[in-house]
Amino acid sequence: MSFVEYGDTIKDGDTAIVFLGHESMFPVKVQHGTVTQTKYGVIRHSTDLIGKKYGSKVTCSKGGWVFILHPTPELWTMNLPHRTQILYSTDISIITMMLELKPGSIVCESGTGSGSLSHALIRTVAPTGHLYTVEFHQQRAEKAREEFREHGVEHLVTVTNQDVCKNGFGVSDIADAVFLDIPSPWEAIGHAKSALKAEGGRICSFSPCIEQVQRTCLAMEEYGFTEINTLEILLRVYNVRTISLQIPDLGKAAEDNSSTGFDSSNPSNQGSPCANLQQGTVQFKSGVPLREMVGHTGYLTFATKS
């Protein structure tokens, strides 16, 4: 099993996603002799999972059923254990596009955190690219290495435990892109410039506060970066529903019905458009935004090494 290569069959040691519904799913490590409890009953790994195809419908001990899905960076972002605040698909999608990443790209990242963005970056640059990720916190760095190994992507990523603001990324003049998600990104701009290739490399900094953005932009200008641009991505979800509204009485509906011999007392005519007109209402689909939405996450500042 690998997060960047699809496998048909569930194997011992795989990480799989147990799908109970669109709002309910969780990851599980498949192991011989292990059981997983769900609200629909027990899933026995040896008999219910190992050897089955990904996407299979598995019946639990209480008679309910779940789907077992192959892991992807998108599903991992929704289900990973949170060691830090993470980036979600809304920001990740614009980051991978604006950094112009593709298979074979070399990317430097700091900090690793919970690995949400890291998995998406690895999938984007695979199979010939590489991710150099730096994490200041030792335990988080060790946990990230363990996860990358379990997910079959350790050959595509190098995890380093050090302070990027003092010691940099450990590479020079090779990166196509650099991503910064640290409290003081302006202190790492010089190291980012050293890690980037000689010309045309892209940099992105994620910061929740506008004061951080201002200091970062000044540092980027000082180190000669160009095309400095800051974005804020907001996700707005719409709820589609059927509504009924009264239509104005223009004085013609009754005349049209009488001229065509329409009988509103006939049950066969109750569902017809004329019946709706007779009742003075019409139904149609309407899209309205949800009353609550995900608001500000952070500002994304992009720039190019000239």
Annotated binding-site residues read 114-117, 135, 163, 181
Tell me phi and psi for residue 157, to 5 degrees: -145, 145
Burial of 273 (0-12, 13-18, 19+ CB in 10 A): exposed
Give 249's contacts (C-beta < 8 A, 6+ positions apart): 280
Give 111's contacts (C-beta < 8 A, 6+ positions apart): 84, 133, 134, 135, 136, 137, 140, 164, 181, 182
Annotated binding site for S-adenosyl-L-methionine: 114-117, 135, 163, 181
300 in Cβ contact with 91 (< 8 Å) = yes
Residue reference for tokens 């190291």: 191
304: part of which helix (H) or strand (E)?
Answer: strand 299-305
CA gap 37, 43 in Å, rounded:
6
Look up residue 119 and give its amino acid.
H
Largest interatomic CA distance in the chain: 88
Paired sense of beta strands 202-207 and 299-305, if any: antiparallel
Q: Residues 154, 158, 164, CA angle at the centre, nearest 5°?
A: 150
Tell me phi and psi for residue 241, to 5 degrees: -145, 165
CA gap 5, 164 in Å, rounded:
31
